[in-house]
Amino acid sequence: MNEEAQEQFDQINVEEQTKKLHELRDLGIDPYGVPFPEKNSIQGIRSHPDKYLDQDVLLRIAGRIMAIRRHGKAIFADVQDRLGRIQIYVKKDTVGDDSFGIFKSLDVGDVIGLEGKLLKTHSGELTIVVENFSLLSKCLHPLPEKWHGLREVEVRYRKRYLDLIMNPDVREVFQIRSQVLSELRKYLDERDFLEVETPMMQLIPGGALARPFVTFHNALGLDLYLRIAPELYLKRLIVGGMEKVYEINRNFRNEGISVRHNPEFTMLELYQAYGNYETMMNLCEQMLSSIVFSILGTYEVNFQDMTIDFTPPWRRLNLREVIQKEGGIDIFNDSVETLYQRGKKAGLNCDQTWDRGKYVNEFLDIFVQPHLVNPTFVLEYPVEISPLAKAKKNDPLVAERFELFIGKEELGNAYSELNDPIEQKKRFLDQVQKRDRGDVEAHLIDQDYIEALEYGMPPTGGMGIGIDRLVMLLTNSPSIREVIFFPILRPKVD
């Protein structure tokens, strides 16, 4: 069926269903029903059927009709709730003529509530024999018959509600996402971290190197920015003596869309006073490995064509050493001109405006990242691409920083926080010069943050972990759009 024929079919169906809706109202039946609380879950019934079989227990379930099979004076139907599906049996002699006639007019997609008793058919199928029911919501559109066969995957994202109705695997993905968030909170709360909230609209965007979204506040008459990271506000709380804080936060970055990137995404950021990047490494390793085991019951995760082993301890690599080993490039001692020549040879679309930091990130992507399947910490990045990180005492060119890679993707970033206000202001000024040269992702100077540091921030370790990418790993999802309920999409053109 082509798109035009499908639209005509849908319109005819809507007209027929709307006619039925009015007929129900004429009978005094509200097609959008009354509340149906205190119901049994279908999963609970299926998990422990012996509690209800032959026990004369009246069950209450509510859900959507997914299939109907009419047989004269009897009707079988499948009803689906959030976690399961079960067969129901509606018999004319049991519910009465009037109720049976109403049920005969119901359609696939309608939402009902019912009461009945559980039995097992001769074929072993768990079935609820309906004693009474209520229509809770009339569905006016036909449900997709072969949702898995849709060619345009974007339709699933545009109409996520249908995706969730028709595809139990999708519901499972978001169940796991919810578990991940719950387990992260539980782990950190048990270790005396405090969950906090910081502004999503900021006067000065900071905390990451990214292009922000700009909005305008009418009453104040000024530009505001959707946050690209909560970092600078969370570190203000460390200055204030909070010591251990975390935020599961929504960030917004005005950049490209891909299978790994969505302009709106979720991060965990946490900060621990009196720690450093090694504190963060140990915390990260213990936290993520324990959460993976808690949710999946194993340390091994299948992701695309890879088997990833989360068993601690995790590998640790020195960035400079691994790029030199894999690419023959010394990222600290080779001249920028040499890096340019090596970049051209490696196939990079580089030009003479690139600085050393840009080459480091690109060489990491080319020579290192494709080999990092099991969880791996890559350590000690150049300071010039780590403007908020503390430099190593014995090497001022190197930051006490790591990035976490799993399944060939970057999942986290952490460092010993720079708490020297004089050095931090100098770093910000260097960023301003980059902006003046056209780098729209460089930091602005946040003078209030500098002043906060001047009151004294203790040595601190900080870390950010991408929640969406973590859920992708645990659910074997090939695209970030699979793990976000409503990803950003281009407007549909009629």
Show binding-site residues for Mg(2+): 403, 410
Q: Which is nearest to 67 in space by CA: 160, 164, 165?
A: 165
Query: Mind spelling out the 3-state secondary structure of the chain?
Result: CCHHHHHHHHHHHHHHHHHHHHHHHHCCCCCCCCCCCCCCCHHHHHHCHHHCCCCCCCEEEEEEEEEEEEECCEEEEEEECCCCEEEEEEEHHHHCHHHHHHHHCCCCCCEEEEEEEEEECCCCCEEEEEEEEEEEECCCCCCCCCHHHCCCHHHHHHCHHHHHHHCHHHHHHHHHHHHHHHHHHHHHHHCCCEECCCCCEECCCCCCCCCCCEEEECCCCEEEEECCCCHHHHHHHHHCCCCEEEEEEEEECCCCCCCCCCCEEEEEEEEEECCCHHHHHHHHHHHHHHHHHHHHCCCEEEECCEEEECCCCCEEEEHHHHHHHHHCCCCCCCCHHHHHHHHHHCCCCCCCCCCHHHHHHHHHHHHHHHHCCCCEEEECCEHHHCCCECEECCEEEEECEEEEEECCEEEEEEEEECCCHHHHHHHHHHHHHHHHCCCCCCCCCCHHHHHHHHCCCCCEEEEEEEHHHHHHHHHCCCCHHHHCCCCCCCCCCC
Residue 144: is the preceding peptide bond cis (ω within 30°)? no
Structure tokens at 343: 């970049």
61 neighbors 39 (Cβ within 8 angstroms): yes
d(CA 351, CA 38): 66
CB 308 within 8 Å of CB 373:
yes
Q: Are 400 and 276 in contact (CB under 8 A)?
A: yes
Which of 234, 261, 263, 232 has its CA nearest to residue 248? 234
- Residue ranges for the known binding site are 403, 410
**Length of the chain in terms of residues written:** 494
